[in-house]
Structure 1
Amino acid sequence: MGLTIVVERTTAHKAKPAIDQLSFGKYFTDHMFIMDYDAGKGWHHPRIVPYQPILLDPAAKVFHYGQTVFEGMKAYRTPKGQILMFRPYKNLQRLNRSNARLSIPSLDEGLVMEALRQLIKVDEDWIPAEQGTSLYIRPFVIATQATLGVSPSEQYHFIIILSPVGSYYEEGINPVSIYVESEYVRAVTGGVGNAKTGGNYAAGLKAQQEATDKGYSQVLWLDGVHRKYIEEVGSMNVFFKVGDKVITPALNGSILDGVTRDSVIRLLKHWDIEVEERAISIDELVEAYRSGLLQEAFGTGTAAVISPIGELNWQGDKLTLNEGRTGPVAAKLYDFMTGIQRGAIEDPFGWVVEIK
């Protein structure tokens, strides 16, 4: 695009949190990236500036019509001091697919990658090095045109913020408990379920709150038409080991095409473990559990990487998996994936990108 990224460094550095205080998405680094869009002009004025509030008109379309998308990525510091990212171009491709679904102008992926590189280098002192920690990266687009009326905005901000994080779940790699939702619906095929947009998550908050009140970490969603086919967990794709196979719901237009999901499928096939991407009903899953074939389940996502599932609650029946312990497939995947991401294990796929 021929755009130059202007860098304005802060003169008021924040105090960095102690490692044992890191949770998920609580602390933010000294700087952020921002770029503007105007109809007829395109994306312009890319810049790195001190982290700061965003000034928006009350009529900005993002507030009224939810025209926004986001991504989630991570940077890792290796024991040798390298800074690595995991499949960043895959995330940027998905960001543009979300843009297309929400009628947001596409972004130049090369420019965004360069913005990421420069922003991470500016704030590289914020990247923690301890096991289980990382620098979480949140790129997002918001519609900023100040006018009411249901139509795509003619103005946008694209912003990237950074956050040093610990484990996504307080339980860490220990198995989580999941409540299978049968009343509320998150998304349907033809909607925006396969786009990473805020409305999908807002639609899940009520069910998540009720599941939390019952003592469960996440909600497992069923499809919005038949109310019986498994789709995904609130913040993760989901996998089940049934007999000698690993089964995951096929992408059907209402399920997010997870980068970690794709990586896990490729890794399992690399290990000669049979993987099926297909529709799987909750009834089939319960039957597999009762017959002893359902051996383990786990979620996959950028935030948690691999999250073993120790219990599923379906209409009051508690299905305890692998005696509530992390299963061998989930454990192997977690160790291998995090090993690749941190540069401790050789990357056989060329997934990691070093930030220099």
Structure 2
Amino acid sequence: MASPASTQTCGSANPESPAPPDASKLKITHSKTPKPLQPVETLRFGQTFSDHMIVANYDPETGWSAPEIKPHGPITLDPSCSCFQYGGNVFEGMKAYLGPDGKARLFRPDLNMRRLERSCARLALPPIDGDAVLELIQRLVDLERRWIPKESGYSLYLRPTVIATKPGLGVMASDHAMLYILAMPTGPFYRVLKPVALFAVSENVRAWPGGTGGHKIAGNYSPGFLPQQTAAEKGYDHILWLFGDDRRITEAGAMNFFVVVKRDDGDGEFQFDMFDMYHLLSVEGLDLITAPLDGTILPGVTRASCLALAGDPEFQKESSLRLHPQEMVYTMSDLEKWSSEGKFLEALALGTSVIIIPCNKIGYEGKDIVLPGAGLGPVGTALRKKILDIQEGRTEWKGWGVVCP
């Protein structure tokens, strides 16, 4: 099960916050030129947006304005705004799925909203009430329901964003803000679910103790663009971020990272087929390992869900897996050792966009750690299938799928 550090708490970031954006005062301005839906096979992540977006503004004297659903389009800001000068920007990524009953569902949106609250608080942005934002998101999903593809693996991606809009130069917290929520139909991040190769780096770091790595902040992402280019030039798909002199494993690109390892004290047995994919002969003795939430790791929704599923007796029975979820510090030396001993079985990258994808190669100090198989192994396959079934409404699971009214 996930450790106490993974637990998401409810309630807004500041109990004395001014009134949140009020959905009862929502104004709706319909687009006069609705766009035609495009074939799902042509959808590319981040390229096609729905007809409408939501906007609300915060002023320190009047609080949050009445939110408005309006046609998707440009926003106007003073070029001296804090968001441009000092990076006061936070966001969330979440999806609405269309179930077999025709209803739209969000996947564990409470975790996204709590994280949004914490991210705003970390950048000293005007406080936001996640429950109020969630109500607005549901209203937008309802209006844009036609944009949710019916095909499995497709969804309506939602991007709630809060930016600092105080005009004028000055290194200080912004007491003005804008909330906007975008929606876009999207398909699988990777059209073919094939393994990705990782390039381990320690000369650059994604996050550091006391920093902002545990929050969904825009400034966390652009510093990774140059190392990513370097990795691509060397033939790798993503960065495996290391930290410290002991080369601790943290994250993969902009995703959380898990490994599956045969336990020393377990009796897990497996064999390899002609495609170098392992198959379990017995189900005991597999650790599912990821880095702990120490402030440098983003508390991902997919991450928390995989940890919870892995330790759940009902899921273990359903999947015929007996996993031991572990949040622990582990290093490149550990990966090298487990690989040399034949215990390193799967490496998984997780996130809202990709759900779960396999990693089959890790480049480190001029050598590659090569993992078995040409796709997801038994653990990654079981976790991915279960999460997709919940997201797409084929199964109910502990209230994780929230139906939009």
TM-score band, normalised by shorter chain = over 0.9
Which stretch of structure 1 is more off in the superposition, 177-186 or 244-253?
Answer: 177-186
5 Å-filtered alignment, 1:62-211, equals: 62-170=83-191, 172-211=192-231
Q: Structure 2 CA distance, aligned partners of 1:191 and 1:227?
A: 19
1:299 and 1:309 in contact (8 A); partners too: yes
Q: Radius of gyration: which is bigger?
A: 2
2:193 and 2:375 in contact (8 A); partners too: no
2:96 and 2:107 in contact (8 A); partners too: yes
Q: Structure 2 CA distance, aligned partners of 1:318 and 1:250?
A: 25
Q: Structure 1 CA distance, aligned partners of 2:309 and 2:332?
A: 26
- 1:178-200 CA-to-partner distances (Å, cap 9, x unmatched) read 11112212210101111111111
Amino acid in structure 2 at the alignment position of 1:89:
D
1:182 and 1:227 in contact (8 A); partners too: no
Amino acid in structure 2 at the alignment position of 1:263:
S
Q: Structure 2 CA distance, aligned partners of 1:104 and 1:231?
A: 27
Amino acid in structure 2 at the alignment position of 1:87:
R
TM-score w.r.t. structure 1 length?
0.96
Residue in 2 aligned with 1:27? 48
1:241 and 1:295 in contact (8 A); partners too: yes
SS at match of 2:41: helix
Amino acid in structure 1 at the alignment position of 2:403:
E
Residue in 1 aligned with 2:404? 355
Question: 1:101 deviation in Å?
Answer: 0.6
SS at match of 2:163: strand
TM-score w.r.t. structure 2 length?
0.85
SS at match of 2:258: strand
Q: Structure 1 CA distance, aligned partners of 2:92 and 2:159?
A: 6
2:113 and 2:131 in contact (8 A); partners too: no
SS at match of 2:66: strand
Identity of aligned residues (%): 38
2:287 and 2:326 in contact (8 A); partners too: yes
- 1:133-156 CA-to-partner distances (Å, cap 9, x unmatched) read 111000011111111010011211
- 1:220-256 CA-to-partner distances (Å, cap 9, x unmatched) read 1012x43600111122111101102111101111110
Q: Structure 2 CA distance, aligned partners of 1:189 and 1:40?
A: 35
SS at match of 1:336: helix
Amino acid in structure 2 at the alignment position of 1:249:
A
2:93 and 2:157 in contact (8 A); partners too: yes
Q: Structure 1 CA distance, aligned partners of 2:223 and 2:396?
A: 37
- Which structure 1 residue ranges, 5 or more long, are not aligned? none
5 Å-filtered alignment, 1:1-356, equals: 1=19, 4-170=25-191, 172-223=192-243, 225-226=244-245, 228-243=247-262, 244-270=286-312, 271=316, 272-344=322-394, 346-356=395-405
- Which structure 2 residue ranges, 5 or more long, are not aligned? 1-18, 263-285, 317-321
Q: Structure 2 CA distance, aligned partners of 1:316 and 1:129?
A: 45
Q: Structure 1 CA distance, aligned partners of 2:218 and 2:97?
A: 26
SS at match of 2:216: coil
1:141 and 1:158 in contact (8 A); partners too: yes
Count matched residues.
353
CA RMSD of aligned residues (A): 1.3
2:49 and 2:182 in contact (8 A); partners too: yes
SS at match of 1:116: helix
SS at match of 1:322: coil
Q: Structure 1 CA distance, aligned partners of 2:181 and 2:310?
A: 32
Question: 1:85 deviation in Å?
Answer: 0.6
Q: Structure 1 CA distance, aligned partners of 2:88 and 2:165?
A: 9
Q: Structure 1 CA distance, aligned partners of 2:301 and 2:237?
A: 22
Task: Give runs of ≥4 in structure 1 deviating > 2 Å.
Answer: none
Q: Structure 1 CA distance, aligned partners of 2:126 and 2:78?
A: 21
SS at match of 1:196: coil
SS at match of 2:221: helix
2:126 and 2:175 in contact (8 A); partners too: no
Q: Structure 1 CA distance, aligned partners of 2:175 and 2:371?
A: 50
1:311 and 1:324 in contact (8 A); partners too: no
SS at match of 1:318: strand
